Structure 1
Amino acid sequence: MGATRTVAVYSLGGTIAMTTDPATGGVVPALSAHDLLAAVPHLAVHDVALRVHDVRRVPSASLTFEDLTELGAEIDRTLADGDVDGIVITQGTDTIEETAFVLDLRHGHEQPVVVTGAMRNPTMAGPDGPANLYAAVLAAADPRLRGAGVLVVLNDEIHAARHVRKSHTTSTAAFTSPGAGPVGLIAEDVVRLTAAPPRRFGPLTRPRVRDVRVGLYTVSLGDDGELLTAWDGRCDGLVVAAFGAGHVPRRLVERLEQLAARVPVILASRIDNGPVLTGTYGYPGSEKDLISRGLVPAGTLGPYHARLLLHELLAQDAGREAITEAFAAFAR
């Protein structure tokens, strides 16, 4: 890589940092960032200086928006000094696709942020954490990834935060980018870009203006819409994970129209791969019908990412017009 590069590593816990708890016999997050890096001695042969920060030691299912705000503020302070070339975050894989997307929406620096973790904990045969951490550091230090925003690196693949999904519960190849593919891979200690990172949206400013609650409602066969009433008055916005390209049973239409008159309702697809259509089908409950009733199409965002974008926009008191424009940016 030439001159010495500096990478700051932030650890949040997760499977990559787990060891056996004698009391329960199960694994729990206990290892520090220094412990994790000690398992990757091969990093010493590269001209990369590491700065290590322990932030949390929790399973990723317990991470919160407040945790990400605190982490983002620490990263901002680190990058403001100007002498760090990239950031690596280690965490559990359960929520990597969500935390990476939120951080990408907020990230306003040229230095890349690389999120990684592990599918096999250190007590198992062939733990993948050291290899993933090694690859993540190489990616964060590579100058060709400047401006790429937040990336996810596991299994020697580099994925953009906008597209990455966890698509298997246990496989070390669990992370994929449906419809897009990875933007690069790492082989023989070299970052090899295979596609240009997608155009980024934002950055959205911090700190958040207010706390918000955004619901996620998944449509299913035989759905009569009765459970939609549970969200009425209890959320600031709602994402509907609809059938196919954005379709719901006819019985849901009236309730969704009523909700959309009170709070932003985003129309996504539960398939989580491909765009929500806007002008093809015209029957009651179709995408054209629902959009005409006030629902906002999610573009190519799946329901989980759509929920996060709506949360970030509402937290800044964005109005309907700004919300519609923001989701329209993800239709391209």
Structure 2
Amino acid sequence: MSVALFTLGGTIAMAGASGGVVSRLTGADLTAAVPGLAEIPLDVRDVEAVPSAALTYGQILDLVDAAGAAVAGGATGVVVTQGTDTLEETAYLADLVWPHPAPLVLTGAMRNPTLAGPDGPANLLAAARVAAAPAARDLGVLVAFNDEIHAARFVRKTHSTSTATFASPNAGPLGHVIEGEVRLLTRPPRHAALPPVDAGRLAATRVALHTVTLDDDPELLSRLAGDRDGLVVAGFGVGHVPPAFAPVLEALAARMPVVLTSRTGSGSVLRHTYGAVGSETDLRRRGVIWGGLLDPYKAKVLLRLLLAAGAGPTEVAEAFARHG
């Protein structure tokens, strides 16, 4: 049984050029550069050689459909290579809709092939081993990087250049690849996949994200969310905003789902510990939805999918209670 490999470009597939490195390497080029990869039968499919900053929800959902077709055709698992800039978001988007027991594993690189010690070959080999491993089944979408295995719903890009950039601050890695062996240390329960979303409705659904800062201006928030279908707020600490934000968020929550998350990068927003104006207790009383452990970027992905599927405020709140 083979592993399907879909390539999307990014640092892992870059080659030198006069104006800087650009995506040029094909899947065949990538696999030829990896010692030990020949032991895993691969079905290589080049998709789009673009930076991950250029990817869209629609492209990722189309890729998930193609990956699902590969699994239905007999693939043991699927590997996707892409740029790391948006990998934490694309992995979570894929995880929300991936219904198959077979693993879908994303990977990439931080050092391009023109540099000393490029990490792409090792990451690709680890991802292929994870995708082929029986132990990785029923875990949903995974990220294999730096010989660590992370769940898509927990993983974050935590450093702009380090090869150890991907981490799961709230949970730690699910396992490791050690001497070529996939070692799983924990198996978190999966959430049921969300139903398919109409592409047209998804394209028409817009969600804003605002990160609260010191002495922030609530008028900016009103302008940002003015023509949007939903809003994610990345608040201070456990879910706090300046007092002047509270009535603005209350007015917005009366006409669209507004989700409260933390800008810190790890940890949960609270529900009912602090009671001042602009605290998490006050905001929930004003109709703002609790985002739990989801970081702002993942909350935005989940909210957009839910709204595109026609979910109302109650359904959105229930979904965040499950996923957050």
Deviation larger for 8-17 or 204-213: 204-213
Matches of 1:164 and 1:268, distance apart in 2: 16
Shift of 1:208: 2.6
Matches of 1:77 and 1:238, distance apart in 2: 34
Pick from 68, 71, 80 the counterpart of residue 63 of structure 2: 71
Matches of 1:132 and 1:68, distance apart in 2: 20
Matches of 2:68 and 2:123, distance apart in 1: 24
Deviation string, structure 1 residues 138-176 (Cα, Å, up to 9, x no partner): 000000111100000010000000110010111111111
1:262 aligns with 2:259: no
1:234 aligns with 2:227: yes
- What's 1:276 paired with? 269
1:59 aligns with 2:51: yes
1:110 aligns with 2:101: yes
Deviation string, structure 1 residues 38-86 (Cα, Å, up to 9, x no partner): 1113122x2x2110111110010111111112111211211222x1110
Shift of 1:194: 1.8
- What's 2:30 paired with? 36
- What's 2:145 paired with? 154
Alignment TM-score, normalising by the size of structure 2: 0.97
Shift of 1:200: 2.4
Matches of 1:325 and 1:21, distance apart in 2: 49
- Asked if 2 retains the 8 angstrom alpha-carbon contact of 1:135 and 1:156, the reply is yes
- What's 1:135 paired with? 126
Instruction: Map residues 244-255 of structure 1 onto 2, 5 A cutoff.
Output: 244-255=237-248
Matches of 1:192 and 1:246, distance apart in 2: 36
Shift of 1:207: 3.5
Pick from 283, 302, 312 the counterpart of residue 305 of structure 2: 312
Corresponding letter in the other structure for 1:147:
D
Shift of 1:29: 0.6
Pick from 12, 15, 19 the counterpart of residue 19 of structure 1: 15
Matches of 2:254 and 2:313, distance apart in 1: 11
Structure 2 alignment gaps of length 5 or more: none
Deviation string, structure 1 residues 220-256 (Cα, Å, up to 9, x no partner): 1111312012124321100000001110010111111
Matches of 2:206 and 2:190, distance apart in 1: 25
Pick from 10, 20, 36 the counterpart of residue 6 of structure 2: 10
Instruction: Map residues 152-301 of structure 1 onto 2, 5 A cutoff.
Output: 152-196=143-187, 198-208=188-198, 210=201, 211-301=204-294
Matches of 2:308 and 2:225, distance apart in 1: 19
Alignment TM-score, normalising by the size of structure 1: 0.95
Corresponding letter in the other structure for 1:315:
A
Classify the secondary structure of the residue corresponding to 2:248. helix
- Asked if 2 retains the 8 angstrom alpha-carbon contact of 1:214 and 1:235, the reply is yes
- Asked if 2 retains the 8 angstrom alpha-carbon contact of 1:272 and 1:301, the reply is no
Matches of 1:6 and 1:269, distance apart in 2: 41
Structure 1 alignment gaps of length 5 or more: none
Matches of 1:304 and 1:172, distance apart in 2: 21
- Asked if 2 retains the 8 angstrom alpha-carbon contact of 1:88 and 1:137, the reply is yes
Corresponding letter in the other structure for 2:44:
V
Shift of 1:202: 2.9
Corresponding letter in the other structure for 1:10:
F
- Asked if 1 retains the 8 angstrom alpha-carbon contact of 2:12 and 2:81, the reply is yes
Identity, % of aligned positions: 54
> Would you identify which runs of 4 or more consecutive aligned residues in structure 1 move more than 4 Å?
none
Corresponding letter in the other structure for 1:265:
V
Shift of 1:212: 0.6
